[in-house]
Amino acid sequence: MALKTGKEYLQSVRDLGLEAHMLGEKRGDLDQHGLVKPSQQAVAFTYDAAHQPEIQGLFRVESPLCKQEVNRFTHLHQSSEDLVNKVRMQRYCGAGTACCFQRCVGMDAANAIFSTTYECDRKHGTDYHGRFRDYWSWIQMNDLVVDGAMTDPKGDRGKRPKDQVDPDLFLRVKARRPGGVVISGAKLHQTGMLNSHEMLVMPTLTMRPGEEAWAVCCAVPTNDPGVRYIYGRQTSDTRKLEARNLDVGNVTFGGQEVMTVFEDVFVPNERVFLDGEVDFSGVLVERFASYHRQSYGGCKVGVGDALIGATALMARMNGVEGASHIKDKIVEMIHLNETIYACGLACSATGQATPSGNFLVNLLLANVCKLNVTRFPYELARLATEIAGGLLGTMPSAADLDDPVAGPYIRKYLQANPSFDVVDRMKVMRLIENLVAGAGSVGYLIESMHGAGPPTAQRIMIGRQADLESKIVRVKNMLEIS
């Protein structure tokens, strides 16, 4: 099948007939809903890019799995160059949408599951890898969006999955039926779930002996009748429902987060890729997390590009772009953003082949990348807030522009550099607001902190991967300390 266009993708998601609880009501017409539409358009961007002559080379890649040209968002990385191109592609999408475009989670899950199932089969004699190859080949050929469902609700953080008051607080195999398993539980923070055709369910942490029921990885169609969705709120989200949408900031694109509940969902065996092999649950978690930490070295940099562009334009609109302290702050923003990108490229360029053949990022550098992402976007946002000025928090609404009394006052008193239109200045101000304090800040800031795991998770991995002992030994040898 040919690579889908954005339009074809939107139709294919519509055809799934998904329903969700949103703002107090159950809605089925998701593609018509003001909160959902921008998030679908952001995913559609990843499809359209594969058809644009100037960039399609980055998005199209020959898959050795299905032997066809596929969208890189479904690709299993075959080289460190593939890993680098993934990050370049994500930066392009982040800069073009100024939001989370939601399609990376499934790509990262697939690459983690591909190598983990291969190694699990070799150790335990299971047949997960072959099943996954067949499944993913079908995904590639149909150019589908797959969400990665990892984060369990976790309940009492001081207790293991089996010791929770409710065993569903970690998604589990609740029962077995001929030909498959029945899963029960929930996954929180599901980026782009309602814009996906499929989801890959994975354990949220390393399971121990006795926790086999929670060591499950499988694929579920998003329109399975046992799956329920509750839409996540974002700051200022209802501005998207207003008639004059200038106040939204990013009118065209946006992110999406969903709570997903699994009410006794039957999963046939051919869609099960881990079922009780606790010793591979941690491997899967670690690899998925590291791929997604690499991803942030692309997507957040792209959104950073949009924020830097908007901030520099605002400085120009305010008539201060020549001031040395402004120039210095813009350079600081660029420096921070490119530092994240450098980490994203570095963990990709030094990636290694796994025994299954696909490539895994450098785990240490991917975690360094993500740890920087938990900090630098906040500093970029702080600098953008400073440069934009206090109007960022006090600007009248777009609706007042139409008022015969208020409108002229707004146009008179919000003018700055006469080369620019007042309403254009308001648009740029709202985009900056969107990214530093509005709906876009969920993707740019909160997700930078917690997406792919919070900073402590990266610190643990950095501590594990750094081989501190060899550094100590080298110093001891240099100083002739026995």
Which residues bind to ligand SF4, rule: CB under 6 A? Answer: 100-102, 104-105, 191, 295-296, 299, 447, 451
**Min dist. Cβ of residue 302 to ligand SF4 (A):** 8
| Residue number with CB closer to ligand SF4 (116 or 294) | 294
**185, interface contact from Fe ion, ligand SF4, none, CB < 5-8 Å by kind:** none
The smaller minimum CB distance to ligand SF4, of residues 213 and 340, is found at 340
Interatomic CA distance for residues 112 and 452, integer angstroms: 13
| Residue 181 contacts which entry, ligand SF4, Fe ion, none (Cβ below 5-8 A, type-dependent) | none
Q: Which is nearer to ligand SF4, 185 or 451 (CB)?
A: 451
Nearer to ligand SF4, 109 or 410 (CB): 109
Supply angle C-alpha 9, 14, 20, rounded to 5: 125
CB of 400 to ligand SF4, least distance (A): 34
How would you label 38-72 residue by residue, b for 16+ Cβ within 10 Å and e otherwise? Answer: bbbbbbbbbbbbbeeeebeebbbbebebbeeebbb
Tell me if residue 55 falls in helix, strand or coil.
coil
Residue 401 C-beta: closest distance to ligand SF4, Å: 33
Nearer to ligand SF4, 126 or 295 (CB): 295
Residue 392 amino acid letter: L
Q: Please, what is the Cα angle at 102 between 96 and 108, to 5 degrees? A: 115
In this structure, are residues 344 and 83 in contact, taking their beta carbons and an 8 Å threshold? Answer: no
Beta strand ranges found along 192-252 (DSSP E): 198-201, 216-221, 227-231
Pick the piece of the chain touching Fe ion (CB under 5 A) from 63-71, 140-148, 192-200, 444-452.
444-452
Closest CA to 362 of 374, 376, 345, 338: 345
In terms of CB distance, is 105 or 436 closer to ligand SF4? 105
Q: How far is the CB of 140 from ligand SF4 (least distance, A)?
A: 18
Q: How many CB atoms lie within 10 A of CB 158?
A: 6
Q: Does 451 bind Fe ion (CB under 5 A)?
A: yes
Strand partners, 272: 218
Q: Which of 360, 380, 379, 381 is nearest to 438 (CA)?
A: 381
By CB under 5 A, is residue 443 in contact with Fe ion? no
CA separation for the pair 135, 113 (Å, rounded): 11
Instruction: Write down the least CB distance from residue 287 to ligand SF4, Å.
Output: 15
Options 12-20, 153-161, 448-456, 470-478: segment touching Fe ion (CB under 5 A): 448-456
Residue 358 CA, distance from chain mean position: 21
- Say how far apart CA 177 and CA 173 lie, in whole Å: 11
Query: Is the backbone of residue 381 left (phi > 0), alpha (psi -120 to 50) or beta?
Result: alpha
In what helix (H) or strand (E) does residue 360 lie, and over which residues does it extend? Answer: strand 359-360
Residue 377 binds to Fe ion (criterion: CB under 5 A):
no
Instruction: State the nearest-atom distance from the C-beta of 274 to ligand SF4, in Å.
Output: 22
Q: Which does 291 bind (CB under 5 to 8 A by kind): ligand SF4, Fe ion, none?
A: none
CA distances from 106 to 72, 131, 234, 415 (A): 12, 17, 22, 46
Q: Specify the DSSP class assigned to residue 156.
A: S
Comparison of 318 and 348: residue with beta carbon closer to ligand SF4: 348
Give the active site residues.
Answer: 100, 104, 191, 257, 292, 296, 299, 447
Name the site residues for Fe ion (rule: CB under 5 A): 451
